[in-house]
Amino acid sequence: MKLNKPKYRILILLVLLGLPIAVRLYGQAVPGKDENIPFLVTFGKLGRTSWGDNDFNQVFFFAIPKDFKQQFFIRVFDPDCGGEHDEIQGDFNTKTMFSVYGGKGVDPEVNEESRGLEKGLNFKSGNLLASKVFGNEARYDNKFYSFGPFNPAEGDFNARWNSYFFKIVCEGVAGDDGNLYRYFLSRDANNNLAVEGANAFTYSYTFRMWNDFKSVAHIYPYVDTGIVYIKQRNFDWDKDGKILVVSRYKQGIDVQTSNEDDWAETRIPIESAEEGSSLDFQFHKRQGELVKNNNVVVTLENQRGDALKFYSSPIGGVPVYQPKTNIIKISPKK
Ligand SMILES: [Ca+2]
Ligand SMILES: [Ca+2]
Ligand SMILES: [Ca+2]
């Protein structure tokens, strides 16, 4: 392929200059393209936390850019719990409720309860736009179910991001099995057609690792301005290898890892030059005996106790470590 079009030239120039490419047009799949995570996971409320889900629900937000005027759909892949992909305990008896919210009360920058971080808080804030409960149902197994259509203006407008925010809550309302699923934000009910410029984020990420030694999963928190340090917490990692933090300024800082049904916490200093960019949390599996079906929860907060967002498509692009240029020493003249 000849890359002689001006568009490509600019792109190559940006890459050569090491500048992040801010506009990403595929922030549609959750987990995202760069994350290398097979599934989100939510257990039925009778599950044990030692299976890797601390609270039996998961809250995700979609940000739809203001200039997108069409209807859209939130598609859930494998919403049922049974058949392929899901984690059985005894027999499949889990029921999972997915609920989509719009309107005032959704925006988690305005309404902290909406983030879904603590039990008992009202994370189901906003107007309920659609809801459905899925059991062990072959017709939804290994298939998509589409919520919508929704109009962007039904969301909660956030001026800072110039976007309408929507929320999808997944709750394990019955049973004890683990429901594995993914989301896709689409312009079409029956196909995955991207909403350009959209993104998705969460504050508490519960996901499944691949059953593969070589596979490295990534999540990308966004570091806002004014952050001095962050406190990273992970739950039920099963001592499955290493968790590293990489950024343009960090080559790979090890964080404390949890074992079984417990949390581990690490404080990570942030350079001022890292503000307004993404970090790359890398999850490297342990070599030797394979840790199978590992589900893990990750949260982050700053020095003020405010939670950080994890974006499905990293803001500013995937951060790549850039070694400092060597300073040439000039010997003083004698
Ligand atoms: Ca069961
Ligand atoms: Ca499922
Ligand atoms: Ca686990």
CA of 177 to the centre of ligand 1 (A): 5
CA of 56 to the centre of ligand 3 (A): 14
Whether pLDDT at 334 is above 50: no
Whether pLDDT at 70 is above 80: yes
CA of 86 to the centre of ligand 1 (A): 11
In a domain, 63, yes or no: yes
Confidence of residue 59 (pLDDT cuts 50, 70, 90): very high
In a domain, 195, yes or no: yes
- Percent of all residues in the chain with a pLDDT value above 90, rounded to a whole number: 85
Ligand showing the shortest atom-to-Cα distance for residue 239? 3
CA distance 45 to 119: 12
In a domain, 325, yes or no: no
CA distance 164 to 157: 4
Surrounding ion ligand 2 within 5 Å at CB are 78, 86, 179-181
| Cα–Cα distances in angstroms (integers) from residue 95 to residues 39, 57, 134, 135, 315, in the given order | 18, 12, 6, 4, 34
In a domain, 86, yes or no: yes
Computed on alpha carbons and rounded to an integer, the radius of gyration of the chain in Å comes to 21
Answer yes or no: are the C-beta atoms of 102 and 49 closer than 8 Å.
Answer: no
Answer yes or no: are the C-beta atoms of 22 and 147 closer than 8 Å.
Answer: no
CA of 84 to the centre of ligand 2 (A): 7
Contacts with 321 (C-beta within 8 Å, 6 or more apart), sequence order = 246, 247, 248, 249, 250, 251, 252
Q: Would you call 11 helix, strand, or coil by DSSP?
A: helix
Tracing tokens 């017709």 back to the chain, one arrives at 139
Ligand showing the shortest atom-to-Cα distance for residue 51? 3
Q: Would you call 153 helix, strand, or coil by DSSP?
A: helix
Instruction: Give the pLDDT of residue 17.
Output: 47
Q: Would you call 85 helix, strand, or coil by DSSP?
A: coil
Identify how many contiguous H helices and E strands the chain contains and give both numbers. 1, 21
Whether pLDDT at 300 is above 80: yes
Q: What is the mean pLDDT of residues 54-68?
A: 97
Confidence of residue 26 (pLDDT cuts 50, 70, 90): low
In a domain, 16, yes or no: no
Domain that holds residue 129: 23-311
Tokens, residue 213: 């030694």
β-strands 280-284, 242-246: how paired? antiparallel
Ligand showing the shortest atom-to-Cα distance for residue 82? 2
pLDDT digits (tens, 9 = 90+) for 94-103: 999 999 999 9
CA of 295 to the centre of ligand 3 (A): 4
Residue type, 93: N
CA of 325 to the centre of ligand 3 (A): 40
pLDDT digits (tens, 9 = 90+) for 185-194: 999 999 999 9
- Cα-to-chain-centroid distance, residue 50: 21
Question: Rounded to two decimals, what is the model's pTM?
Answer: 0.89
CA of 10 to the centre of ligand 3 (A): 43
Q: Give φ, ψ of 275 to 5 degrees.
A: -65, 145
In a domain, 74, yes or no: yes
- ∠ Cα 58 62 64 (to 5°): 175
Beta bridge partners of 130: 100
CA of 201 to the centre of ligand 2 (A): 20
Count: domains in the chain: 1
CA of 261 to the centre of ligand 3 (A): 8
CA of 231 to the centre of ligand 2 (A): 31
Ligand showing the shortest atom-to-Cα distance for residue 177? 1
In a domain, 324, yes or no: no
In a domain, 318, yes or no: no
Q: What is the mean pLDDT of residues 110-127?
A: 89
Instruction: Give the pLDDT of residue 14.
Output: 46
